[in-house]
Amino acid sequence: MQLLTAHPAHRLHSQLNYAELRKKYAVADREPITIHTEDAARFGIANGDLVRVWNKRGQILTGAVVTDGIKKGVVCVHEGAWPDLENGLCKNGSANVLTADIPSSQLANACAGNSALVYIEKYTGNAPKLTAFDQPAVQA
């Protein structure tokens, strides 16, 4: 599958990923992944299911949004989710885990992200607890 990492309409990059607004767009308490209806059916994925997305760079856990509003063979996970890694899995669905960190040029030295090839599957295990938004322990 082709992964797009578009800018979200509901936050500015990673800003507000922790805010109350998150309750309006999160799916199964994860970053949403948009999947075409036919692709979702092929993988046994329904709206609201947890979806594991992976490639050779890493793996993330997302919540399914099934629609005809995306091209077949393409999935979209918005950029900006806070990383929340546990045993090699980003529990919060940070698309950066899946994209290359090679700069676009020596002049700009900007990221060349926005797309990557990935695999998807319905996640059948117990959903791991998110910890990205937990306050750090303070020692006196």
Q: How confident is the model at residue 87 (pLDDT cuts 50, 70, 90)?
A: very high
Q: Which of 2-11, 14-23, 76-85, 122-131 has the highest mean pLDDT?
A: 122-131
Task: Report the predicted TM-score, pTM, of the whole model to 2 decimal places.
Answer: 0.86
N-to-C CA span, the chain: 49
Give pLDDT, residue 74.
97
HSE, side-chain direction, 13 A CA sphere, residue 67: 11
Cα separation, 44 vs 131, in Å, equals 28
Task: Provide the percentage of residues in the chain whose pLDDT is more than 70.
Answer: 85
89-90 and 58-67 strand pairing: parallel
Q: How confident is the model at residue 11 (pLDDT cuts 50, 70, 90)?
A: low
Cα separation, 61 vs 31, in Å, equals 8
Q: Which fold would CATH assign to domain 2-122?
A: Barwin-like endoglucanases (2.40.40)
